Amino acid sequence: MRNNKTIFITGGNRGIGKGLVAQLCYKHNVIFSVRSNQKGQETLDDLSGCKAKFVVMNVDDPNSVQEGVNKLRTLVNSIDILFNNAGILISGIQNDNNALDTDEESIMKTFNTNTLGVLRVTRHIVPLMGNGGRIINISSGMGQLDEMESGSTAYRLSKTALNALSKILSNDMSSKVTVPVSLKIRSEKMTISPKSFPLS
């Protein structure tokens, strides 16, 4: 990928999001979202020399997304790449709950973060993108219909719907931005392997 892209990453304080910040912040202009100033500062303290900046944003809450984007707009004029990374898998329903035993509240909460949250953020970021922007929605093999198994019903539903959303966004905005739909995450190595498209 060429240097000096402006990149926004949601959920950048731990896990894959923090890994993305760490990989990209030395060559690119990276802004990541966190749910508190403390988490943002701790992340930067861990990544010595990283020049990334952060904004506070809870993707569950439209007002918080708006406030985060307002702050983002004070930091940058445009965004080249959006990583919709923030996501949840509610503990307790991780492995054993089948669909019939999964409570509706868990399904709605997970959908609100993993699916609607992506749409909320994307709605605000697309106006900041010029032609050639990229939106990378971090999905999961657990949302893939041809690999669907049992368990983690709420999470699986949210990621299958996210895959649909990626495809719809890709169709809607094909002339302006690219929304790849077959990005695979290999969790054992915590690497993202862009199989079907170049990041540059």
Give the active site residues: 155
At its nearest, how many Å lie between ligand NAP and the CB of residue 35?
Answer: 4
Residue closest to 177 by CA, chosen among 83, 46, 42, 81: 81
Chosen residue from 1, 5, 14, 73 binding ligand NAP by CB under 6 A: 14
Binding flag, residue 16, ligand NAP (CB under 6 A): yes
109-138 footprint of ligand NAP as x/- string (CB under 6 A): ----x---x--------------------x
Only segment of 47-55, 79-87, 128-136, 175-183 that touches ligand NAP (CB under 6 A): 79-87
Binding flag, residue 143, ligand NAP (CB under 6 A): no
Q: Residues in the site for ligand NAP, rule: CB under 6 A?
A: 10-11, 13-17, 35, 39, 57-60, 85-88, 113, 117, 138, 140, 185, 187
